[in-house]
Amino acid sequence: MQKLPTKLYLTEQVRAMDRMAIEEKGIPGIDLMRKAGAAVFELIQKDYSNEHLIIFCGAGNNAGDGYVVAALALKAGVKVDVFYLSTPSELKGDALTAYQDYLMVGGFAIIFDDNRVLKKGIIIDALLGTGSDRAVSGDYETAVNCIKQSKLPVIAIDIPSGLNADTGNVMGCAVKADVSVSFIALKQGMFTGEAAEYCGRIVYSSLGITDDVFNAFPAAVKRIDSFKLPKRHRCSHKGHYGHVLVVGGDVGFSGAINLAAEAVLRTGAGLVSVATRPEHAASINVMRPELMCHGIESASELSPLLNKATVVVIGPGLGQSQWAKDLLQEVLQSGKSTVCDADALNLLAKEPQYQHN
């Protein structure tokens, strides 16, 4: 397995990478599938020894990955049970080849039924993968619920079945995995929405696809990785690490702005200023004297603070009053790099403003 990359991609982009690797780079699709299955089996051997495997296979390439894992396990002398949700006769292309390879080493698969009780082993989720974009239903819903009720360890191939690979939203129901093994590129939906509750530990393999393939597809989203933060020079000072202005905290919401400003301090900003209601300024300064707190009544008072800032955060405890609207407008017109959160997003949802990013 490889270190998790920072770039996140949409499902269609990853499919395009897969096609490019096959059609332009000459890598047979079955080779990519075998590498994917081998990566999963390597993880199993490393973390779970030779425990009984229970593999759930669907109808597409995700199922093919599952059959590769099953064949490798069988050849290694590991007990394997394979349950299919779609009959193997419906398999096509590389997935069919993987199934036939499994049969060649003496494997067999049986249809899943809802009376099945899973008592012991490691479950491999090869049901849906990234190919599904609709609510899980029918036998697949039954299988997902059976997996969840078993309380057994679960390894999801590519992404937990039922989790949208673009949004991280659950499509009706989803497998809760202990480990998710992502291939080719990390999917955006594994780090957004409800994904944290379903993906478990995320591990990754590029399947040997080269950087020029990834570079052909710009990633709109990146993970924040603390290891990417540059080391600080021992003789540096606070003036070298930016000045963040945090705007918000309408009457009654001083806690939100205080917590946000403290978080900015903790994550390494050199200087942090706060623009909030005047009645909150004193209490915030008492709690965190490192913060430069300014009480402001109107947007015009925000302008000199914006001039000094390198980055602006607006929204925590902002509210949706006229005061809040005026401050948001002033920030957006400043042209500063801005993070909008909480009520700033609510205000923008009511009155969208399109600006260059």
CATH code for the domain of 269: 3.40.1190.20
Do both 44 and 172 map to the same domain? Answer: yes
* Nearest alpha carbon to residue 39 among 47, 50, 27: 47
The dihedrals phi and psi of 193, each to the nearest 5 degrees, come to: 55, -130
Q: Which of 197, 227, 257 is the endpoint of a domain?
A: 227
Do both 223 and 282 map to the same domain? Answer: no
Cα end-to-end span (Å), the chain:
35
Q: Which of 184, 207, 227 is the endpoint of a domain?
A: 227
Q: Residue 1: its pLDDT value, please?
A: 80
Residue 354 included in any domain: no
How many folded domains does the chain comprise?
Answer: 2
- Rounded to the nearest 10°, the torsion over CA 59, 64, 70, 71 is 130
Residue 352 included in any domain: no
Cα separation, 143 vs 288, whole angstroms: 52
Do both 143 and 197 map to the same domain? Answer: yes
Q: CA-based angle 332:271:287, to the nearest 5?
A: 100
Q: Which residues contact 286 (CB under 8 A, 6 or more apart)?
A: none
pLDDT tens column, 286-335 = 999 999 999 999 999 999 999 999 999 999 999 999 999 999 999 999 99
Alpha carbon of 278 to those of 111, 141, 250, 293, 301: distances in Å? 68, 54, 9, 9, 12
Alpha carbon of 136 to those of 63, 133, 151: distances in Å? 16, 9, 20
Q: Residue 197: its pLDDT value, please?
A: 97
Q: Residue 262: its pLDDT value, please?
A: 96
Provide the percentage of residues in the chain whose pLDDT is more than 90: 85
Predicted TM-score (pTM) of this structure: 0.77
Two structure tokens written together for 216 = 């052909």
Query: Residue 137 CB: number of other CB atoms within 10 A?
Result: 11
Do both 307 and 172 map to the same domain? Answer: no
What is the domain range of residue 63? Answer: 7-227
Do both 249 and 148 map to the same domain? Answer: no
CATH value at residue 91:
3.40.50.10260
pLDDT tens column, 41-68 = 999 999 987 789 999 999 999 999 999 9
The dihedrals phi and psi of 15, each to the nearest 5 degrees, come to: -60, -40
